[in-house]
Amino acid sequence: MPERMSRKRNWVLSFLLLVALLIGCGAFLAWYKFFREQPDGPFVSNDERFMYASIGGENAAGLPYWIFLVLPRMFPEYLPGPGGYASLGIAWEEGRELPVGFTKKVVGFPRVSNTCAVCHTASYRATPDATPVFVPAGPGHTANVQGFFRFLRDCAQDPRFNPDNLLEEIKRVTDLSLLDQLLYRFVIIPLTRKALQQRSFDWMEREDMAAWGHGRDDAMNLTKYFMLEMREDGTYGPTDFPSIWNLKKYQPERGMRMNWDGATYNARSVLIDSALGIVAEPQRDFLHHIDWLLDYLSNLPPPPYPFPIDQALAHAGEALFTAECARCHRSERTGKRVPLTEVGTDENRILSWSHAAARAANAKALELGVQRRGMIDDEPLNGYIAVHLDGVWLRAPYLHNGSVPTLRDLLKPAAERPQMFYRGYDLYDQAAMGFVSAGTVAERVGNLHDTRLRGNGNQGHEYGTGLSEEERQALIEYLKTL
């Protein structure tokens, strides 16, 4: 019967429409709650953008903001001391919601990720009571990145990391809607825990490997094991966070190379590889962030020495620099590799990278759809770069592994350099040029650097060590002007 049939058809149509509507709503809700992106910011200056703006790490590698916020309160015993994340020595400007180098962006829900600034922002203070000055693109010599990894790992392994406890703690700081509570309970918390547990950190916990400590990481092994998923090879190459200002000084066409061992041709490649380490999966605007960073870092001048300089003494020091240092640090050799057999510093960083790893990194970048000149697999990687010395006053502790606390110590024969000292305190020592590396505060906020341990050696680079005390003084004064 036509009437009944058409009624039936109407009914089927309505039903289908309802199903479609429900699916649509569900899809919209899922998109809204998990993928909707809100731009972060606004950022009033380039420096602020460098220190806090997202480069896209929240999507694939972000931590839910509320979980990030409550973890230090729930698990203070997994941090090196009181004070929450600040106990990890990460720079934290007063009045800021998050430390330097930490971003907050809504991708469905608020998430936290990192930027370059967590390792590449320096802090110093003139007196113990002064508020620290933060210098973007300076070496993050106070940041304990290994401590941060260990903290997340230990939290995720603790049975108290569960929806009941976390939601209880989150309730103290915010009112999540009922729907959000359900999402946190059944999706966000379990997935976060799983993601944190999936990463193996065993490779950085071997007994024959000293702690990275403040201001360093095992950079090439991080790349090999986290990004490239290569097999452990037993090497250990702890390396100091370098300054990354004034990148336009590098001229690849003149044979200059980047990274401590000259493993990379140019700044764009280094930036891309560094950013891939943070974001895991490049987003649509990935290269836009790279272009901005490249422009900002290329043109950012090194910070001038902020304390008084004795100009006459510095002038006398310049002649000594020309005689003792310029043949590497202001010549055709600058920015190029000096063989390890010549400079004689610790070899472990060099041993931690290889042509095979470079090829794997290049293949990985291509797989992720990023075109770049890439890492070097056709030159011997057998030395360290004779680094440019711009802004050298703020780059303590010195050498690629941060094994010499001050410039005064670097100008002594290796046997007379401190065998043990503390890294991570930001009180500046104007006489020695470096950070205070002994005493109760240095011990409390920092970590012991024992130069006898693998990767920590302070040998080699014995240049200018024959100078008299007056000459050394003059050379140090001159180095303040660079």
By the criterion CB under 6 A, which residues form the site for ligand HEC?
Answer: 55, 114, 116, 118-120, 145, 217, 219, 239, 241-242, 244, 247, 258-260, 267, 270-271, 274-275, 278, 293, 324-325, 327-329, 338, 342-343, 345, 349, 384, 386-387, 392, 395, 398-400, 407, 410, 461, 463-464
Q: How far apart are CA 373 and CA 168, in angstroms?
A: 50
C-alpha pair distances (Å), 248 with each of 267, 286, 400? 9, 21, 21
Phi, psi of 76 (to 5 degrees): -60, -25
Q: How far is the CB of 174 from ligand HEC (least distance, A)?
A: 28
C-alpha pair distances (Å), 30 with each of 16, 25, 27? 21, 8, 5
Contact 326, 370 (CB under 8 A): no
Of 166 and 375, nearer to ligand HEC (C-beta) is: 375
Of 211 and 293, nearer to ligand HEC (C-beta) is: 293
Of 59 and 274, nearer to ligand HEC (C-beta) is: 274
Of 75 and 292, nearer to ligand HEC (C-beta) is: 292
Of 98 and 145, nearer to ligand HEC (C-beta) is: 145
Q: How far is the CB of 250 from ligand HEC (least distance, A)?
A: 7
Q: How far is the CB of 32 from ligand HEC (least distance, A)?
A: 29
Structure tokens at 110: 């608020």
Phi, psi of 353 (to 5 degrees): -130, 155
Structure tokens at 465: 């060590």
Contact 341, 448 (CB under 8 A): no
Q: How far is the CB of 79 from ligand HEC (least distance, A)?
A: 18
Q: How far is the CB of 263 from ligand HEC (least distance, A)?
A: 6
Of 67 and 137, nearer to ligand HEC (C-beta) is: 137
Structure tokens at 273: 């590889």
Q: How far is the CB of 113 from ligand HEC (least distance, A)?
A: 10
Q: How far apart are CA 334 and CA 387, in angstroms?
A: 6
Structure tokens at 312: 């006459």
Of 59 and 70, nearer to ligand HEC (C-beta) is: 59
Q: How far is the CB of 367 from ligand HEC (least distance, A)?
A: 19
Q: How far apart are CA 320 and CA 467, in angstroms?
A: 9
Q: How far is the CB of 163 from ligand HEC (least distance, A)?
A: 30
Contact 246, 391 (CB under 8 A): yes
Q: How far apart are CA 365 and CA 247, in angstroms?
A: 22
Q: How far apart are CA 201 and CA 112, in angstroms?
A: 21
Of 132 and 402, nearer to ligand HEC (C-beta) is: 402
Of 193 and 461, nearer to ligand HEC (C-beta) is: 461
Q: How far is the CB of 108 from ligand HEC (least distance, A)?
A: 23
| CB contact set of 59 (below 8 Å; sequence gap of 6+) | 107, 279, 281, 283
